[in-house]
Amino acid sequence: GNSVTQMEGPVTLSEEAFLTINCTYTATGYPSLFWYVQYPGEGLQLLLKATKADDKGSNKGFEATYRKETTSFHLEKGSVQVSDSAVYFCAPDFGNEKLTFGTGTRLTIIP
């Protein structure tokens, strides 16, 4: 069946550190892949997406590459800021007209 596994949190980093949040999926087909972010006190919002293999999604300094071989879509940022503190969700679209969300990874950046 279809499923998504996301790196457990919480993750605490110092400002300017490198960030990786792992996301892998199991699918019978080739899903579109999304990362959503939830900032404190706000609703979920789309961070980036990739719709086919080898696509790279990017936004706000974050990147994720659709890796068909490893069924992964890891989120990366080279230098995190305090304002990046939020909860991040990996969310594949398995072609069943809805998104399936991972459990979320809470990120805290310390100045």
Q: State the residues that interact with other proteins by CB under 8 A.
A: 6, 32, 34, 36, 42-46, 49, 89, 91, 93, 95-104
**Nearest in space to 48 (alpha carbons), one of 100, 104, 107, 37:** 37
Q: Which is nearer to other proteins, 29 or 111 (CB)?
A: 29
Q: Which is nearer to other proteins, 14 or 45 (CB)?
A: 45
**DSSP state at residue 84:** G
Q: Which is nearer to other proteins, 40 or 111 (CB)?
A: 40
**Distance (Å, rounded) from C-alpha 20 to C-alpha 77?**
7
Cis peptide before 40 (omega within 30 of 0): no
Q: How far is the CB of 79 from other proteins (least distance, A)?
A: 26
